[in-house]
Amino acid sequence: MREDARNAANNVNEQRLWQRHAEMAQLGAIPGNGVNRAALSKEDIAARKLLLSWAAKRNYSISADGIGNLFLRRAGTDANATPIMTGSHMDSQPRGGRFDGIYGVLAGFEALEAMDEAGVVTRRPIEVVAWTNEEGGRFAPCTMGSMVFTGARPLADVLDVTDNEGIKLKDALADTLAATPQVAKHDFKSPAAGYIEAHIEQGPLLENARKTIGVVTGIQGLRWFNVEVSGKTDHAGTTPLALRKDAVRDSIAIINALTELTHDPKDVTRFTVGRMLVTPNSPNSVASHVLFSVDIRHPEPQTIARLGDAVEPLARKAAKFCEVKVTPTLHDDPCVFDANVADAVEAAAKTLNLPHMRLSSGASHDAMYMARICPTAMIFVPCEKGISHNEAENATPGDLAAGARVLTAALIELANR
């Protein structure tokens, strides 16, 4: 390992990193030690302002792109060199944890500060990015900021997406951009020479294997759909079942059919209906409309293709009384990360004597999209019992700092290539 990389890694400040998580956890804090910091909400705006207040004390240039992704750049000696990027997201699930996403932003920021304090100079600039709307909990689909930044989807496609209260993304985005007027403009599809994202594992493998560092080799495939079932509202007491167009009954039939489709004795396939909006949502009126989400995941390309392609025909076949509209909102094939970047992560973990192992990610991340435009890999650290997307999500100061040390060393290595 380069001497400067080791010095910078040794300058990672565990206490400061932990304290920053505690400050961020106040923004959208909910009972049970969790956070609810929805994308483009006032809590998200507060997190952006807090991050920018820390960056203002450093000599980093700050910019934002048209979907609100925030970029903090530490200059390199070669101003024209494409940057090495790191980062993650600051938005959370409605009952999210204090580490999902925010850890990758804070570990990246800690890496820059450790480089400052070690007096390290790199050839390439290094950028920390806070991606907008990685979770997709408020505005579907997930990984929206990195999807638009990398050109996988035009911004215009998502501006009219609404949340459960009917607020349009474009209006929440306008409020968010207006809240941080002092940042420069950042172009979509700005080139990068590499990207490393640090994240908690959100699964139990590292903890079970007693490893501190996960060298992440890829992400499983995922497909999201919105299914809308439209029938007719009627009186619950007087309307015979034979005459009903009951949107809840048909939704149940569709979900049962999808449960059968995704049944997997090896329990590798993931199928989730996490969101369901019923109209008029009254105990004694037959439901006229249901919108529900479908999230299917699998590590094999041909399986995720087969399962995803079966959703619409199966939904139509299962519904007996109502109209059905199936809208695909996300189609990510499984991705394999760049071997050289994964090797740089593994070499850093080895040289820093941190127990490590290679693994693939069950959760999706913005790295899924960055992998399409530059050499990309991820670093995982353990989270307690693998719990995530739950207030009980927990990690230790030591593991978070260890991941930040590996990130610091790997970034310096890549930024001097």
Which of 4, 91, 135, 246 binds ligand HGY (CB under 6 A)? It is: 135
Specify burial of residue 98 (Cβ count, 10 A radius: 0-12, 13-18, 19+).
buried
Count of residues binding Mn ion (CB under 5 A)?
Answer: 2
Interaction residues for Mn ion, span 336-355 (CB under 5 A)? none
The reply on whether position 134 binds ligand HGY by CB under 6 A is yes
In a 3-state reduction of DSSP, which class is residue 269? coil
- Binding partner of residue 410 among Mn ion, ligand HGY, none, CB cut-off 5 to 8 Å per kind: none
C-alpha–C-alpha distance, residues 249 and 111, integer Å: 53
C-alpha–C-alpha distance, residues 300 and 249, integer Å: 33
Binding piece for ligand HGY, criterion CB under 6 A, among 17-25, 38-46, 134-142, 404-412: 134-142
Q: Which is nearer to ligand HGY, 142 or 183 (CB)?
A: 142
Specify burial of residue 241 (Cβ count, 10 A radius: 0-12, 13-18, 19+).
exposed
Strands 84-89 and 126-131: parallel
**Other CB atoms within 10 A of residue 103 CB:** 27
Q: Which is nearer to ligand HGY, 199 or 244 (CB)?
A: 199
- Smallest distance, ligand HGY to C-beta of residue 363, A: 4
Task: Give the CA-trace dihedral at 224, 68, 397, 74, to 10 degrees.
Answer: 130
- Binding partner of residue 142 among ligand HGY, Mn ion, none, CB cut-off 5 to 8 Å per kind: ligand HGY
The reply on whether position 348 binds ligand HGY by CB under 6 A is no
Strands 276-279 and 289-298: antiparallel
Which of 64, 129, 130, 142 binds ligand HGY (CB under 6 A)? It is: 142
- Smallest distance, ligand HGY to C-beta of residue 415, A: 27
In a 3-state reduction of DSSP, which class is residue 232? coil
Which of 17, 216, 322, 363 binds ligand HGY (CB under 6 A)? It is: 363
Q: Which is nearer to ligand HGY, 113 or 393 (CB)?
A: 393
Residues 6+ apart with CB under 8 A from 8: 111, 114, 115, 117, 118, 120, 408, 409, 412
- Binding partner of residue 346 among Mn ion, ligand HGY, none, CB cut-off 5 to 8 Å per kind: none
H helices present in 69-202, as ranges: 102-118, 144-149, 169-179
Which x/- pattern over 93-112 shows residues binding Mn ion (rule: CB under 5 A)? -------xx-----------
Interaction residues for ligand HGY, span 364-403 (CB under 6 A)? 364
The residue at minimum Cβ distance from ligand HGY is: 363
The reply on whether position 137 binds Mn ion by CB under 5 A is no
Which x/- pattern over 85-124 shows residues binding ligand HGY (rule: CB under 6 A)? ----------------------------------------
Specify burial of residue 118 (Cβ count, 10 A radius: 0-12, 13-18, 19+).
buried
Q: Which is nearer to Mn ion, 102 or 213 (CB)?
A: 102
Which H helix or E strand runs over 325? Answer: strand 323-332
Q: Which is nearer to ligand HGY, 89 or 124 (CB)?
A: 89
- Whether residue 406 contacts residue 8, with contact meaning beta carbons closer than 8 Å, is answered with no
- Binding partner of residue 364 among ligand HGY, Mn ion, none, CB cut-off 5 to 8 Å per kind: ligand HGY
- Whether residue 114 contacts residue 8, with contact meaning beta carbons closer than 8 Å, is answered with yes
Q: What is the DSSP letter of 283?
A: T
C-alpha–C-alpha distance, residues 265 and 220, integer Å: 18
Binding site for Mn ion (CB under 5 A): 100-101
Residues within the interface to ligand HGY (CB under 6 A): 134-135, 142, 363-364
